Structure 1
Amino acid sequence: MKQSNRVIAAMQEGRVAYGFNLIFPSPHVVEILGMLDFDFVWLDGEHGPFTLENIEDICRTAESVGLTTIARVPDVNASTILRFLDRGVQGIYGPHIATREDAQKLVNACYFGPRGERSFGANRGTDYWHDIPDLKAYYQNCNDNMLVGALLEDQGSIDNIDEILAVDGIDYFGIGPNDFSQGIGFPGEPSHPEVERATQELTDRIRGAGRRMVTDVLESEWITNILIDGGRRVLERRRG
């Protein structure tokens, strides 16, 4: 493992980690914003146009400026998640966690044994298997620096929340408002009173079980807003 996970370090210190959400591949943006005091860069690997090469380049750049890379993955299949981890991603956000089986599948894919079932290969996410005298200790270090989040977006997430919460190894939970509203029968209405009620119910049950919501762990801004806000300030200043 090339560096410690800054988000996990923030959690241990009892503070929120700060970052930015990247929806398109740009190591240059990561390098520039890495000059500021951000903790992480979050990649939208579910909806964004990222290739494996893009992800690896971004991880390499992020590490060079001390940022931790987190990615929302397209699905929680082990082969999908492994490709992100092998590039150097240190945090996985799994979408559409609706059952205990989904949650366990996510955990198994993210951690090496005995905690999970992550496969080991000689890639940059595992230091190309270079200078690793104790593989068991290396597995433990990787596990200690792995951040796992579960995204709740379906009716099943409500129906099965107690079983989902019983799965060990998930650091935080989030609710995707657009897919969640659609999943419970209110497509395109994330602000519908029934959606807000269900969202609050889930949040209360999660925190009531002593678990964290994503907002307890991460605070971030979309790169589009950063660019637009910055551009707007420049125009306002130049135009007087």
Structure 2
Amino acid sequence: MRTNNVVTKIAAGEKPVGFTMRFPSATIVEMMGLVGFDFVMFDSEHGPFTTSDIEELARAADAAGLTPMARVPNIHNSTILRFLDRGIMGIMGPHINTKEQAQALADACRYVPDGHRSFGSGRGSHFGQNTFRTGYMKHFNENVVVIAQLEDVAVLDDLDGILSVEGIDFFTSGAQDIAQSLGLPGQGEHPKVLEFEKTVRDAVRAAGRQMAADVMVGFTLDDMIFEIGVTALEAAKNQAG
């Protein structure tokens, strides 16, 4: 059965390193696995991923030694289930503003007794093989990673409740959506946004919980490509004199 690199590395006192993709490319997933990354996060909230894309990308990630994770477009149980059944091992739920939403996210990601995930016979559950079923469900509950994204000022109204949900493993923010909720569109580095993020981080840690950035390191593929492109262009200009 598949293990989660994020869970394994954190348990060993190490920080797993991963990257976020906003477009489907099994080739890039395979290449990044060869480089040595631990996980990939498919941004399905903003990226053009189909269900078939997710299954093929998860398969490519498994083959390359990467743990496939995804930011889902919403936290509806049926949406999350389709990702998990494709083989996704970690779920980031966006716009978590209440305890009820956090609990719904957590419950959708794990089987009974830790949640309410439905059992399907997709590749994520080894196609429902009888010899694996019971052990698989327990194993998956221990290996899935659930991240709640706190990215709206409304979070402060129920932050203690959100942080009390045990099925959420880690928390993260979203500067640009926070900025919008503060009436500061496009200003993700505004002091008010930074202050809000600090307030949330401090509350998370005071509650004995962890931010995702406390335990893992992440890069965005878009930024990496732009950086490589700028460097290559500058080098070409220098060579051209």
Please show how residues 84-163 of structure 1 align to structure 2 within 5 Å: 84-130=83-129, 132-133=130-131, 135-163=133-161
For residue 181 of structure 1, what is the aligned residue in structure 2?
A: 179
Residue in structure 1 matched with residue 43 of structure 2 by the alignment = 44
Whole-angstrom distance in 2 between the partners of 1:196 and 1:127: 43
User: Where do 1:65-76 residues align within 5 Å?
Assistant: 65-76=64-75
Shift of the 236–58 alpha-carbon distance from structure 1 to 2, 3 Å rule, reads same
Return the alpha-carbon distance in structure 2 between the equivalents of residues 227 and 189 of structure 1.
23
Deviation at 1:129, TM superposition (A): 1.1
CA-CA distance at 1:135 after TM superposition: 2.9
The TM-score, its normalising length taken from structure 1, stands at: 0.94
State the Cα distance separating 1:216 from its structure 2 match: 1.2
Moved more, 23-32 or 150-159: 150-159
Query: How far apart, CA to CA, are the structure 2 residues paired with 1:78 and 1:145?
Result: 19
- Separation in structure 2 between the aligned mates of residue 200 and residue 20 of structure 1, nearest angstrom: 23
- The residue aligned with 1:170 is 168
Distance in 2, Cα, partners of 1:158 & 1:172: 17
- Between 1:7-16 and 1:70-79, the stretch displaced more is 7-16
Partner in structure 2 of residue 214 of structure 1? 212
- Displacement of 1:235 after TM fit? 4.3
- Whether the 8 Å CA contact 2:70–2:91 is kept in 1: the answer is yes
**AA of the residue aligned to 1:109:** A
Task: Give the deviation of 1:16 after TM superposition.
Answer: 1.5
Structure 1 unmatched ranges of 5 or more: none
Q: CA deviation at 1:19?
A: 1.1
Q: Residue type matched to 2:201 in 1?
A: T
Match of 1:203 in 2: 201
Residue 212 of structure 1: CA displacement?
0.8
- Structure 1 counterpart of 2:29, which letter? V
CA distance in 2, matches of 1:234, 1:161: 45
After superposition, the C-alpha distances for 1:12-38 in whole angstroms (9 at most, x for unaligned) are 112211111110000011011111110
Conservation of the 8 A alpha-carbon contact between 2:126 and 2:132: no
The one-letter amino acid paired with 2:30 is: E
Residues 178-212 of structure 1: CA deviation (Å, up to 9, x unaligned): 11121233333222222221211111010111111
Cα separation, 2, equivalents of 1:47 and 1:138: 31
- Tell me the CA shift for residue 223 of structure 1: 1.2
Q: CA deviation at 1:134?
A: 5.5
Identity of aligned residues (%): 43
Offset, 1:237? 4.8
Gaps of 5+ in 2: none
3-state SS of the aligned residue for 1:221?
strand
Q: Is the 2:85–2:123 contact (alpha carbons within 8 Å) kept by the matching residues of 1?
A: yes
Secondary structure, counterpart of 1:157 in structure 2: helix
Name the counterpart of 1:5.
4
Instruction: Tell me, in whole angstroms, the C-alpha distance in 2 between the residues paired with 1:181 and 1:237.
Output: 36
Separation in structure 1 between the aligned mates of residue 16 and residue 92 of structure 2, nearest angstrom: 15
3-state SS of the aligned residue for 1:149?
A: strand
Q: Which amino acid aligns with 1:136?
A: T
Q: In 1, distance between residues paired with 2:176 and 2:225?
A: 23
**1:16–1:122 CA distance, 2 compared to 1 (3 A):** same
